[in-house]
Amino acid sequence: MCAEIPAMGPDLAIARAAAARWRKRAAEREQTRKTLDHQPAGHFTPVDSVDRLAKRAGRLQQWAAAIRALPPAAILGLPAAPPPTGGAADTREIDMVAPALSLRALAAERIIGETSDLLSVEFLEIGVAAARAVGLITTRGAPNGTGFLVAPDVVLTNNHVLPDVRTARASALEMDFETNRHGPRKEVQSFELDPDGFFLTDAPLDFTLVRVRPTSDGGQALSDYGFLPLIAAEGKIAVGEPLNIIQHPGGRVKQAALRNNRLLDLPPSNEADALNPDAVFHYETDTEKGSSGSPVFNDQWEVVALHHTGVPKTDASGAMIDADGRVVPDSQPERIVWIGNEGIRISRLYQYVFTFTFADPAMASVRDALIALWTDAGRPGWARTAAEAETIVHPPAALADPPPAAPAIIPLAEERGAAIAPDPADPAYARRPGFRSDFLGLPTPLPRLVDDSRGPLATFGEGVSELRYHHYSVLMNARRRLAYVAAVNIDHRAPFDVQRGTDRWFFDPRLPKRLQAGGDYYAANPLDRGHLVRRDDAAWGYTQAEAQLANDDTFHWTNCSPQHEVFNQSAKASGKGLLLWGNLENAVVDLAKATNGRLCVYNGPLFTEDDRPYRQDFFVPGAFWKLIALIDGQSRPRALAFRLSQAAQIADLPAEAFAPAELAAFTPVQIPVATLGALTGLDFGALAQWDPLAAGSDGVSKETLSPPRSIILTREADIVF
């Protein structure tokens, strides 16, 4: 058991560097502090950039929808809508995107302000669970700092706490060093560190990741404490919001500093410094020596920073001073006055980890498993929707135990033996992050089905309709056994992708097979098993493992739709002189590469009463649609909708007989997003406002908008952006 001993001293070199960064931003921080100090009670005054506020609002919106802690109407301060006939509350995601920056800022202000003030008791419940993953780092039996589990058997702390493998070998992670309201203090569990299993450190970013042995000296399992994932996405915090910190101050029992602490500054990335200022932020919170390595949380208990130093008070020359203004020598650190804190931003730490090149393949494989784990655990609300609630998350045992057996795969006969398989670490499909509606920095939610005359949504579990996969999500039409929509996030900046191999399709075990059109409908005919979400679009990643999981997930029957072979295959289409789906999206992809490399693509069939019956109980769609959302080269949000028919080709016209006379039937048409909504029964929300074909848009002249307000596309140059 750890005894309370005198606390270790601060790292003065790190503190001086933080003080220098603090002084550089004094004017900006003071203005922020004045603004925040004068804001009305219960009101959030925006002091951050519009873009960061929009990212923050989007993530809060996702989080609230995920845990159902707040009705979306309440978040925006809107009148509550009456519940539907069944009496259930309306939990549909609110679309708060507005084309004007002032409206975006207003919506973000309302979401952040109201969410900050309306905390349920769940805030405390999740906080207790988060605290379980925080422990005390000891070196040769003496307290050395705080650390927290970021995987089932990996702990994160500061580099100045564990600077090298030798120190780590002599160190341990002590858990349950805390008071017990039910009686005597808990028995401390000491877990040896295992840097030979995994070790990664960086002095400028002041962090160390190290493996922890799975069992304590008292026989306790480390996995019982859960873990706190590192989340790459921005939008976890905005300047002025409260912060929370769990720590072992001075090597004492675990303590919490809750909410009476504010993020004061997020320095920009254009200031020269040995440690890029963009990697840190400054905040108020109650910390002491020994708090190094503590997790800094937002109100949703997502880790936003790694605490690494207090900021000492200094004079004009940069010398540290005491409360009377006298210079403090290094030998008397107890006289230092601490005026703020500096933390390392988790999003920047994450970037370093996934780009680091290991010489040891074994270390690299552990890092890849970490990234895959954090990717799965990174979507808002993931912790609260896990199967069990007593720990903050319940991960796959990717780093400690062999993965569970994969679910049964139902391949076509000629595909047996292919390497493609669904994620073996997630057989229940519980940890797939799905389509991210904050991917572009502005909300791009899944559409809502507002007219179910074409068929009801397929649901599973307790009425869940969204089927989440790696990088994409699907909403299924239960009557037609095909997707209403398959929506994917595409990141062309990602360094890893997967080349296509042998196709192997499989059913999604969350839905009955009778609700999924399987391989029998594609045999002995010119119909291709056409991906709705293109394999190339989803098969990206910041690790090879992430890209492979996403690639394999595209081969679910839920992402498949019958498409004529000429319609579906870009090479054949090009040979006929056609601009078809593959060519069309490639043209928009090129545009995205010229901007920020990211786009969101929504795909689906058009269900009509005229669809051709095939094999008794199945109807083949005669047309398909696509909606592409992106930020263009002028930083404008854009949403482009398209329709393409295959009706002539599925009326028994052989592929080899396809001739120029049939070009018209294959010609894609760019249509208004509002028109697409009417054709599909889907509500695309504010994406309609991003449409260059919308009346009053600056993307196209009003003359072009005359009825029928659609554009026939015979070449890429015809596309209106």
What are the tens digits of pLDDT across the range 475-528?
999 999 999 999 999 998 888 888 866 678 889 999 998 899 887 766 555 566
Residue 272 or residue 248, greater confidence:
248
How crowded is residue 91: how many other Cβ atoms within 10 Å of its Cβ?
12
pLDDT at 88 over 60: no
Pairwise CA distance, residues 707 & 720, whole Å? 16
The lowest-confidence range among 47-56, 217-226, 437-446, 698-707 is: 698-707
Residues facing residue 289 across a β-bridge = none
pTM score: 0.49
Q: Give me the phi and psi of 281, to 5 degrees please.
A: -140, 160
Would you give the end-to-end CA distance of the chain in angstroms? 66
The larger pLDDT score, comparing residue 571 to residue 596, is at 596
Token pair 């009463």: residue: 609
Of all residues in the chain, the percent with pLDDT exceeding 90 is: 29
Homologous superfamily of the 443-718 domain (CATH):
Extracellular Endonuclease, subunit A (3.40.570.10)
Most confident of 94-98, 362-366, 609-613: 362-366
Across 435-463, average pLDDT: 93
12-84+93-125+232-348 — its CATH code?
2.40.10.10
394 is an active site residue: no
Query: Tokens representing 527?
Result: 């119909």
**Comparing 114-128, 271-285, 417-431, 466-480, which segment has the lowest mean pLDDT?**
271-285
Element (H, E) at 136: strand 134-139
Is 158 annotated as contributing to ligand binding? no
Q: What is the pLDDT of residues 34-48, one digit of tens each?
A: 776 666 554 555 566
The pair of three-digit structure tokens given for residue 140, joined into one six-digit string: 């040769």
Cβ pair 546, 371 in contact under 8 A: yes
Is residue 192 within 8 Å of residue 312, measured between CB atoms?
no
> At a CB cut-off of 8 Å and minimum separation 6, what does 604 contact?
483, 484, 485, 486, 532, 624, 625, 680
**With contact defined as beta carbons under 8 Å apart, do 496 and 542 qualify?**
yes
Query: Which spans in 2-49 are helix H?
Result: 12-24, 26-37
**Between these two residues, 158 and 403, which has the higher pLDDT value?**
158
Q: Where in the chain is the domain with CATH 3.40.570.10?
A: 443-718
d(CA 130, CA 298): 12
Rounded to an integer, the average pLDDT of 133-160 is: 93
> Where in the chain do CATH 2.40.10.10 domains reside?
12-84+93-125+232-348
**Given this model, what pLDDT does residue 72 score?**
34
Please check whether residue 521 is in contact with residue 613, taking contact to mean a CB–CB distance below 8 angstroms: no
Residue found under tokens 């060519």: 583
pLDDT at 197 over 60: yes
Structure confidence by residue, pLDDT tens digits, 654-666? 333 333 333 344 5
Residue 356 pLDDT exceeds 80: yes
Is the bond preceding 708 in cis, omega lying within 30 degrees of 0? yes
- Phi first, then psi: what are they for 558, rounded to 5°? -65, -20
Q: Which of 160, 531, 556, 564 is catalytic?
A: 531
**Residue 406 and residue 338: Cα distance in Å, rounded?**
53
Rounded Cα–Cα distance for residues 581 and 623 (Å): 11
pLDDT of residue 52: 64
Query: Average pLDDT of 463-471?
Result: 95
Q: Which residue has the tokens 């009425």?
A: 463
**Contact between 55 and 112 (Cβ < 8 Å):** no
Q: Confidence band (pLDDT; 50, 70, 90) for 374?
A: confident
Binned at pLDDT 50, 70 and 90, residue 169 comes out as: very high
